Structure 1
Amino acid sequence: MEMNPEQNKARITAIGTYVPTRVMTNAELEQMVETSNEWILQRTGIHERRIAAEDQFTSDLAIAAVEKLIHTYQKSVTDVDMILVATSTPDYPFPSVATQIQAHFGIEQAGALDLSATCAGFTYALHVANTMICSGLHQKVLVVAAETLSKVTDYTDRTTCILFGDGAGAVLVERDEKAPGFHSFYQGSKGDGGIHVYRTGFSEKMFGRDLTATGCIVQNGREVYKWAATTIPKAMEEVVSRAGKSLEDVDWFIPHSANLRMIESICEKSDFPIEKTLVSMTHYGNTSAASIPLALDLGIQQGKVKNGDTLLLYGFGGGLVHAGLMLTWDVDGK
């Protein structure tokens, strides 16, 4: 919905990202499964991805991203009153990654919560953070999206192992009534499509159908592609119209970096220029919830995203779920 002044009192004030040092190239995957660099590039646009070390977990990546945020923007997180972490690959079922971040930085009197919305996790978490601040109950929320998908990837499955990588991104969302940054949002879900991308847990059935119970990611890429390519262009129009704007007012579109061919299709169907679209999968692979902040930070480092720019962020993935936000980028000190 469109936000009136009473519903828009928050702004993103800093960002930090982190990816593991280990690089897995397409050439390396050629030695593992029946595939080729040309095949991977043609179908996904991915050249390489980052892989966490054996003893490196989602909380480690998340903490490193927050540390980068603190260093780059000279920010303090000790006064954060809520920590939200978007992840599908927590270190443990519980305790949460958010509580590990709280402990590491010694943040007192902060709530700590993990959110599970797969590849839409970052945009959902941003919406929750904005809502918490606009309610008047919170002042400063740390939003982190972090994944170690390599730990739940089947490296004998040539259709999925070429896609996924590891990474993390963190932003601070702070109360600012004078220069608020959030303008509109739109969300949706199609639960019966969950059968097309999943990872089994306690149950090995969904809607009465048997699942592939390996504990690794299972995906019907064709069906997910069809859903995203038809759903997201319409949803993009809804987000901007709720802000009283059009897609022509968007400086940068930052979708979940699932697959370059999928994003090209979304841009074509929405008549949005691919040249104004930021992605992170080319060198990081599909990092699920972390892909949008990684792409945003790359755009900042490359001098593309500047203060005052209008951004359209859109996450979509397993659930099936999707969530989009239109906001103004105006961070401190940059």
Structure 2
Amino acid sequence: MSLLPNLPPELAKLMLRRSQIVGCGAYLPARVVTNAELATRVDTSDEWIVERSGIHQRHVAAEGELTSDLATAAARSAIAHAGIDAEEIDLIVLATATPDRTFPATATRVQAALGLHKGFAFDVQAVCSGFLYALTVADNFIRSGQVKTALVIGAETFSRILDWNDRTTCVLFGDGAGAVVLRAVDGEGTTADRGILSTHLHSDGRHHDLLYVDGGASSSSLVGHVRMEGREVFRHAVVNLAAVVQEALAANNLTAADIDWVVPHQANRRIIEGTARKLGFPMERMVVTVGQHANTSAASVPLALAQAVADGRIRPGQLVLLEAMGGGFTWGSALVRM
């Protein structure tokens, strides 16, 4: 079925342009912190953490290892997987809530590290939904014809904003980075096209105080720590994620049966299971990696995507649905044919 309205030929051509994911990459810091190690620091246990989140371990950046370092490593991995030269990249969009500095954008440091001197680079901040926001921004630049090749990255060093004495938050998060390379391709305007078929973004600032960091340049001049009302976040997450997935399906005249894989935000296995039940998706079609790297915020969706592509679960031509929710609240989804 065609998704195109009756448009003049010059506009229809732009509408036919798709953003195809041609490369996926990931990076996790070398240091692994297990639940058993955390149990020596705070009042918790491996059983308590696994039962409530499905997390077994998380990776933590080394001293002096910055978000830009993680992002650059993931970017190089994605560029190598795409089989392109870095010089072909016109745009870098980096999603992060833990930038190297207040300014300049961490994306510009990645740009320099990759040896690029053309195009443009900037950051996007939507916390755990950040990668989907960044993907949407890059997709729109490609659809408009302004960009041919884009690098989209989600990278975080959340360990730097955790209160390691707060067992309700420190056990849930980790550090990491994931990246994809997008290239402009021509489509037919149908759901059979390879590339990003649609993206759907939302936010609701009324819930700001349910998940936030208690610091900032404007408010306190301090970095602050993550604060979260876990039960409320869980409740909103299942509802909002199920709704935004249904929105993507309806926009493309598809049903859950048409989707090969769902790549959810890796915040908590129980949220993933709750969303799957609400949507009627079998868990066998949900990519779940939270146990290995915990919640890496903006990095979690591209990390999970890269792992599923690398191990052969996600293959060219398959229909994949990405979804995430983060502080703000922000949430979103993207439907992609690989």
Q: After TM superposition, is the score higher than 0.5?
A: yes
Q: CA deviation at 1:72?
A: 3.2
The alignment yields a C-alpha RMSD, in angstroms, of 1.6
Q: What are the equivalent positions in structure 2 for 1:1-334 lying under 5 Å apart?
A: 4=4, 6-7=14-15, 8-178=17-187, 180-199=194-213, 200-202=215-217, 215-329=224-338
Deviation by residue 1:13-57 (Cα, 9 ceiling, x = unmatched): 111110001000000000000000000000000000000001101
Counterparts of 2:313 and 2:194 in 1: how far apart (Å)? 21
Q: CA deviation at 1:180?
A: 4.2
CA separation of 1:20 and 1:245: change in aligned 2, threshold 3 A: same
- TM-score, length basis structure 2: 0.91
Counterparts of 1:125 and 1:10 in 2: how far apart (Å)? 13
Give the partner amino acid of 1:257.
Q
Counterparts of 1:181 and 1:73 in 2: how far apart (Å)? 14
- Unaligned 5+ segments in structure 1 are 206-212, 330-334
Counterparts of 2:93 and 2:161 in 1: how far apart (Å)? 22
Counterparts of 2:254 and 2:80 in 1: how far apart (Å)? 35
Among the aligned pairs, what percent are the same residue?
Answer: 40
Whether the 8 Å CA contact 2:74–2:177 is kept in 1: the answer is: yes
Counterparts of 1:214 and 1:147 in 2: how far apart (Å)? 14
Counterparts of 1:3 and 1:49 in 2: how far apart (Å)? 42
Q: CA deviation at 1:214?
A: 7.1
Counterparts of 1:12 and 1:70 in 2: how far apart (Å)? 11
- Unaligned 5+ segments in structure 2 are 5-11, 188-192
CA separation of 1:305 and 1:115: change in aligned 2, threshold 3 A: same
Whether the 8 Å CA contact 1:247–1:272 is kept in 2: the answer is: yes
Runs of 4+ in 1 over 4 A off after TM superposition: none
- TM-score, length basis structure 1: 0.92
Counterparts of 1:18 and 1:3 in 2: how far apart (Å)? 36
Give the partner amino acid of 1:256.
H
Residue-pair matches, total: 321
Give the partner amino acid of 1:321.
T
Whether the 8 Å CA contact 1:102–1:110 is kept in 2: the answer is: no
Counterparts of 1:320 and 1:167 in 2: how far apart (Å)? 22
Deviation by residue 1:43-84 (Cα, 9 ceiling, x = unmatched): 000000000001101000011111212333332121211110
Whether the 8 Å CA contact 1:184–1:240 is kept in 2: the answer is: no
What secondary structure is seen at the aligned counterpart in 2 of 1:54? coil
CA separation of 1:312 and 1:111: change in aligned 2, threshold 3 A: same
Whether the 8 Å CA contact 1:185–1:242 is kept in 2: the answer is: no
